[in-house]
Amino acid sequence: MRQPRFTSLNSAYAHLLKGILDDGREVSPRGIRTKELLGIGFVLTEPRARILTSETRRWSLPLALGELCWHLRGSSDVASLAYYTKAWEKFSDDGTSIAGSCYGKKLFATSPAGNSTWKRLATVLRTDPDSRRAAVSFLSGSDDLSNSRDISCVSSIQFMIRGSKLDMMTVMRSNDAFLGLPYDVFLFSFLQECMGLELGCPLGEYHHFVMSLHLYEKHLDRAKAISQELQTSSGLMPPLESLLQIQELLSAEEAIRSGRAVNVVVDAYSDPLVRELVEYRKRLSAP
């Protein structure tokens, strides 16, 4: 059965918000009122159309870039995220680290044997391009489901090569449609593009599946306004050409966040992203 298909995150976002507003059921997990749809999936036919341009939503590209760099660095440090939004601090059990949503740490951390989950996923697809085994789960049987402040919202991700193109599937146990979904799609579609470069494989489609897609009561009015906006922008990012561009972005982001000068030469791809991060730093420093 085919899922709804969209050419951009902009168009998918408005459609999903309207669906929850029209057909969502009211539930109150942890006593917080929400409207919810169960078992929702959609497809982005152009994974690089991942930037949300809604004026009502006021989505933050610097936050998306900061989270992306945090994951690509394999970090679990909460301070690096709190620089972009203090909201991350409430998800830390010990005040210093993120235990559940540190997807990059789970993907890129190097084992004593010098390998990583990311490299193992790439090896599976190089060895057998038709494989269905390039998948990883982010949930653990040891997770404290009752007491932890942060349980991974992402259940699993999977890469598949079909029609000589790289598809990606993200499965989420829970997704806040208003706040979280745009950042999740940005992150995982970007990881899809990175894996495409690892494999030398062009991008296919990005698939996003959610067990509970929901809106919190406090966001309902703004979600309604967004669902009625006329979106004309594709939010398309240019294609990554080399994984070296990622290293440039990581080095620049760390320098800017730390208040140091950017002593790395950035190319045409990284330059506008770095300028976004510089402007964010200026806003933080403004009196």
Which domain CATH number covers 183? Answer: 3.30.572.10
Residue range 197-249, pLDDT digits in tens: 999 999 999 999 999 999 999 999 999 999 998 777 899 999 999 999 999 99
Span 181-193, pLDDT tens digits: 999 999 999 999 9
Give the tens place of pLDDT for each residue, 19-46.
999 999 999 998 999 999 999 999 999 9
Tally Cβ neighbours within 10 Å of residue 84.
21
Structural domain contains residue 256: no
User: So what's the pLDDT on residue 241?
Assistant: 94
When divided into structural domains, the chain yields a total of 1
pLDDT at 154 over 80: yes
Residue count of the chain, please give it.
Answer: 287
Q: Is residue 61 part of a domain?
A: no
pLDDT higher than threshold 80 for residue 171? yes
Distance CA 168, CA 50 (A): 14
Confirm whether 75 is domain-assigned: no
For residue 140, pLDDT over 70 is answered with yes
Contacts of 196 (CB under 8 A, 6+ apart): 166, 202, 203
Give residue-wise pLDDT tens across range 45-79: 999 999 999 989 999 999 999 999 999 999 999 99
186 located within any domain: yes
Helix (H) or strand (E) holding 123, with range, is: helix 117-127
Q: What DSSP line would sit under 27-76, residue for residue?
A: E-GGG--EEEEEEEEEEESSTT------TTTT--HHHHHHHHHHHHTT--
Q: What is the pLDDT of residue 7?
A: 96
Q: Is residue 56 part of a domain?
A: no
Most confident by average pLDDT, 55-69, 93-107, 134-148: 55-69
Phi, psi of 100 (to 5 degrees): -100, -45
pTM for the full predicted model: 0.95
Q: Are 12 and 181 in contact (CB under 8 A)?
A: no
- State the residue range of the domain holding 196: 5-51+85-240
Q: What percent of the chain has pLDDT over 90?
A: 81
- In-domain check, residue 105: yes
Question: pLDDT band at 146, cuts 50/70/90?
Answer: low
What per-residue confidence (pLDDT) applies to 142?
59
> Does residue 253 lie in a domain region?
no
* pLDDT at residue 280 in the model: 95
